[in-house]
Structure 1
Amino acid sequence: MAVRPRLAKRDWPVDMTAASRTIYFKNNVGCLWEEPGGYLRLDYHNGPREEAQFRALLTHVRQAMQRHGWSRLLVNQQQMNALTPSEESWMINEWLPQAVLENGYRYGAVIVAHDVFARLAMTGIVLTSRKLGHTYRNFEHEKEAVDWLLAQK
C-alpha cells in the first residue's frame, strides 16, 4: 500500500482548509475566520446592513490582525452589496490607515463582488491603499486568491 505524502498547509486545497478554520467574529454583515495558513478571511453576507455592524466587523479584523500578528486578509465580497458613501469614507479615511499603520495589514486578496457598484467602491479603497504601502489584488476565483495570498510573506 502506497503512502500519500503529507501536504504542507500552504499546499492544502481550499476545501481542506475550510474544515480547520475557526470563527473569530460573526454578525449580520459577515463572518471573520482565522485560517490555519496564518491569515484572516472575511466573508461578507448579502443584504442590507447597519453601519454600526459593518464597523464592528471591520474593527474585529483589526483586532485579530493585532492579536495574531498577521498581515494578510482574504476578503470574499461576492455576496456584498455596494458600500454606502459613509461606509466607503470611513474605510478610506479611518479603518484602512489604522489597519495598515497600527495593525500591520499588508496584503489583501479580494474575491470581487457580483454587484458592480460594490466593485466600483473598491477602486477608491485600492487607490488609497497604494499611498499606505498596502497591496490589494482582485480575483474572480477563491483558489487563485488564496494561492496569491499564501505566496505573500
Structure 2
Amino acid sequence: MLPVALRVYFENSVGRILEHPDGYAVVQYHAGTREIAYLQAFLRHVGQLLKLRGWYKILGDQRLMTPYTEEESQWITDYWLSYENQAREIYGAVMMATDAWAQLPDSYRLQDAQAGAMTYRLFDNEAAALDWLHQRL
C-alpha cells in the first residue's frame, strides 16, 4: 500500500498538526518541555482544524511527549475539552510511549475513557489506534 500524503496544518515547538485525507487530525507531540502559551496555541489550532473541516477524530502521537504539567492538565480540562469550546464530541486515539504504556493497569488499556468533550482510548501502536479510530461513527 502506498503511504498517505499528510498535509501540515500547523507546527510550533510543542508539535505538529497534520491533516489526514481520511478525515481526522494527526497530532504529533515533540519531545522536551513546553511553555504553556505554546501548548495553548497548539491545541487551539487543533480545535480550529476540527471545526474548519467538520471533523471529530484525532490520532494523538504522544510517544515522545513529556507528561503534561499540572497547569497544562488543568487548562486542557477547563478550557480545551469543555463542551462549550468544542462543536461536538471528539474521539481521540492516543499513542503512548511503550514504557508509559507498560506501567498502566489493564483496566486503563482496555476501555474507552472520557475527558470533557473527548472520548479516548490509549494505545501502544499505530495500527490498533487507527483501527479503533476508524470504528468511531
TM-score by length of 1: 0.75
Determine the C-alpha separation between the residues in 2 that align with 1:105 and 1:140: 23
CA contact (8 A) 2:9 2:18 kept: yes
**Aligned with 1:67: secondary structure?**
helix
Q: Say whether residues 1:145 and 2:132 are aligned partners.
A: no
Aligned partner of 1:37 among 12, 22, 29: 22
Q: For structure 2, which runs of at least 5 residues remain unmatched after alignment? A: none
**Aligned with 1:104: secondary structure?**
coil
CA contact (8 A) 1:107 1:135 kept: yes
Determine the C-alpha separation between the residues in 1 that align with 2:78 and 2:59: 21
CA contact (8 A) 1:65 1:104 kept: no
Q: For structure 1, which runs of at least 5 residues remain unmatched after alignment? A: 1-12
1:51 maps to a residue whose letter is I
Aligned partner of 2:119 among 135, 140, 145: 135
* Corresponding residue for residue 76 of structure 2: 91
**Structure 1 residues 110 and 70, CA, compared in 2 at 3 Å: closer, same or farther?**
same
Determine the C-alpha separation between the residues in 1 that align with 2:117 and 2:33: 32
Percentage of matched positions with identical amino acids: 36
Which protein has the larger Cα radius of gyration, Structure 1 or Structure 2? 1
TM-score by length of 2: 0.83
- The Cα RMSD (Å) is 2.4
Structure having the higher helix fraction is: 1
CA contact (8 A) 2:80 2:86 kept: no
CA contact (8 A) 1:109 1:137 kept: yes
**Structure 1 residues 58 and 115, CA, compared in 2 at 3 Å: closer, same or farther?**
farther
Structure having the higher strand fraction is: 2
Determine the C-alpha separation between the residues in 2 that align with 1:128 and 1:145: 16
Give the 5 Å matches for 1:1-153.
16-17=3-4, 20-98=5-83, 102-114=86-98, 116=100, 129=115, 132=116, 134-153=118-137
CA contact (8 A) 1:29 1:49 kept: yes
Aligned length, in residue pairs? 129
How far has the Cα of 1:16 moved from its partner? Answer: 1.4
Runs of 4+ in structure 1 off by over 3 angstroms are 113-116
